[in-house]
Structures are given as structure tokens and as C-alpha cells.
Amino acid sequence: MIKTLAVVGATGAVGRIVLEEIVSRGLPYQNLKLLASARSAGKKVEVAGRQITIEEMRPEAFEGVDLVIASTPDEVAAEFVPWAVQRGAIVVDESAYYRMHADVPLIIPEVNPEALHRHKGIIASPNCSTTQMVVALKPLHDAARVRRVIVSTYQAVSGAGLAAQTELADGTKAALSGNVATPSMFPYPIAFNLIPQIGSHKQDGFTSEEMKMVYETHKIIGDDSIAINATCIRVPVMIGHSESIYCETAEPLSLDQVRELFAGAPGVTLVDDLSSKRYPMPRDCQDKPDVFVGRVRKDLINPHGISFWCVSDNLRKGAATNAVQIGQLLADKMANVTA
């Protein structure tokens, strides 16, 4: 049992879902604290039928806290996480700030739960696009060792926050009225458009989002030799990231084997019947915790090649759900220690 659980960023889009997931998954705690910036302090949020007053996030607010689940921008995480760790709390951080720190485990519970024991007070949750891809690749890697991945992502605007969702809605209304809305969250209008850049220019023509998929996958799986080539695209979808993935395995797998591996994998739901027009789509996967896989095919020439389509709610498994699942692992560990 967690004595005191703190949620940082509880008023944000992901933070609100974190609270929903804590309740729906029954994450055990005795006391719950909600922390946010000074402008949100004093507001009340209902959690499991109780009204909880948000406290300002200050160093002393973490006194007596056992576990923190945090959804904040990188610069906020850089400041407050040390406050919590210095006071004895374990922090599950959803920002990108600590993900590639050598002493911070980067965890997806269905993929590398064993990394939990290496934490020194901070546990990072991966990027949303990385998370769903690695959950889908995990059964193939365990069975036949993934050696190469080519992925194109089609990422919903919610990955850029609530303001981005508003921009898509307003831009769509404007376009349907024959007008063009001036974008502020994106470099170009996103309504009825695709933008083949997410993040800043990083290296060799790749963006920061694309390189996150490379580096984070290597760290989570523990294999830097996997060749990964990512192209990340922002699409006019509210919620739900989609990915077209081609991978090659060291050992060939039959199509039936691949489907069986997906069907039996934790956190994966197989929806794959082309003749009946059944495959994952963002609108069907919203508010669901799994990674959905379909359009499964073998390469027509290379016996080691596999193609598939995967979709997941980027605010759930890509963020809030994964963080709460990590919290559940920690709660189980605490229970075993005290048993």
C-alpha cells in the first residue's frame, strides 16, 4: 500500500486521465495529493467521489510523499523531480527530460518490468509513439529477434496538447467556411493537412521525435544494434496515434506464427480481417488502454520481413496508462517488502 500518492499536473489533459486510471485500476493508496502550478492552487478536483484541493507545487509539498506520478513539460520536471527524490519519494515522470539518463530506467510494464529495480528514485515513461511500437514489437523480438524497423507514424494533434486540439477544431470550421485559420501550435494549418515534421531538426535530416523512437527503443529493449528508421507525421486526428511498421527478424516467422504472437501478447489486441474490413482505426481505439494491431502481412520477397499497422490512444497507453501501470508495479513491490 502506498501511504501518500502525489499527482503532479493533475489539471492537464494527461493528468486528468492519470486520475481516472488510478481510480479504474485500483492503484492502492491511503492519501492523495494533487500538485500543480500556483495558478491552479486552490482549485478542487473530484477523485473517486471526493473533492481534493490542489496544492501549489513547492519543495515542502513533497514531504511524506511515497510515490509521484507526474505529467509536466520538461523544464518543470527538471526543477521539481529533485525536490521529490531528495525527500524520499519515487517519481514516475512522463516528460522527456530524464528518459535517456543512464541511471533512470525507461519502462513499459509489458516489455521491461525487470528494469524497475534499477531505479534511484526516478522512473521515466517513454514517448507515446515509442511506447505503442515497442509493445507491438516485443512478442516478435522475443520469438525471433527484431533486427530492423522502418516506421511511419501518423500522430494525433492531442500529442501537442489541448491547445493543438482546439486549433484543429477551429481550423476545420474555418476551412469548411472557406477561410484559413492562422496556426499557432503548428507551422502550417493542420486541418485537412499532413505535416511531416514533429519536433525540431535533430541530425541528418531527422527530427527530435524520430530520434526519440530510435534511442528510446534501444534503451527499452536493451539492444543498440536494431536498425530503426522513423518518419513522424502530424495528422488531423484528435486522439490516437497510428503507425505503419515494417520489421525484419533474425529468424523467419510464418504469417500464422506472427498472428499468434500478436494475439497472445500482453497489452496487444489483434484486429486483423481485411476481407471483412476489420483493422484498427483511431476513432475505435480512443479511451482504450491497449495497442491495437492489424493489416498483418509477410514481405512478398524477404522471408524475414513483416508489415503491420498499429494504433493506440496516445493519451492513455502512450502516457497516462503506462505511468499508472508503472505505479502498480511499484505498489506491488512495496507490498511484497512489507509482507
Query: What is the set of active-site residues?
Result: 128, 241
Q: How many CB atoms lie within 10 A of CB 221?
A: 18
3-state DSSP of the chain: CEEEEEEECCCCHHHHHHHHHHHHHCCCEEEEEEEECCCCCCCEEEECCEEEECEECCHHHHCCCCEEEECCCHHHHHHHHHHHHHCCCEEEECCCCCCCCCCCCECCCCCCHHHHHHCCCEEECCCHHHHHHHHHHHHHHHHHCEEEEEEEEEECHHHHCHHHHHHHHHHHHHHHCCCCCCCCCCCCCCCCCCECCCCCEEECCEEHHHHHHHHHHHHHHCCCCCEEEEEEEECCCCCCEEEEEEEEECCCCCHHHHHHHHHHCCCEEECCEHHHCECCCHHHHCCCCCEEEEEEEECCCCCCEEEEEEEECCCHHHHHHHHHHHHHHHHHHHHHHHC
Q: Residue 46 pairs with which residues in a beta bridge? A: 51
